[in-house]
Amino acid sequence: MFDFIFADSSLEHIKNYVKAFHQMISVLKLNGYIMITVPNRFRLDGWPLWKLLYRPKYYQKEFSPRELKMLGEYFKELIPVDFFGYEIQSPVIPLFSIIFGKIVNKDKLRVWLTGFFPSIISINIGIIWQKLVKVV
């Protein structure tokens, strides 16, 4: 049993993510915390367009903030503690990703651009739940 479970950018690669989340909860101690981060469906970094055009060979789901919050509502033993995910994200990145997508390393470009432009919306969103009720 665990006091704290942290799944950073992993749940979105599991097709049956609800079952995987349920398994995490089953090994979480009473009063323990679970923290999940996933890609934001509404992000502006060019990934949705890239995914549509180039069709990566691996599974990746994006979550809306509402969808991520609702995931915990399936499990009555969890209460939300904190929701986050509106960190710095440059509005210029989609343009650069489309124009220079095959030439420029997008990760390096993202790091460079986010230092110079105002924020719009984050790439990832996350939530922290606490397990307060033992379900029998």
pTM beyond 0.95: no
Domain 2-131, CATH among 2.60.40.1180, 3.40.50.80, 3.30.70.2860, 3.40.50.150 = 3.40.50.150
As a whole-number percent, the residues of the chain with pLDDT over 90 amount to: 24
Distance of alpha carbon 118 from alpha carbon 100, whole angstroms = 21
Where along the chain do its domains lie?
2-131
For 9-44, what is each residue's pLDDT tens digit? 899 999 999 999 999 999 999 999 998 988 888 777
Q: In this model, does residue 111 exceed pLDDT 60?
A: no
Question: For residue 18, what pLDDT is reported?
Answer: 93
Instruction: Report residue 83: phi and psi, to 5°.
Output: -125, 135
Angle formed at CA 95 by CA 89 and CA 99, multiple of 5 degrees: 135
* H-helix or E-strand spanning residue 81: strand 78-84
Question: For residue 14, what pLDDT is reported?
Answer: 95
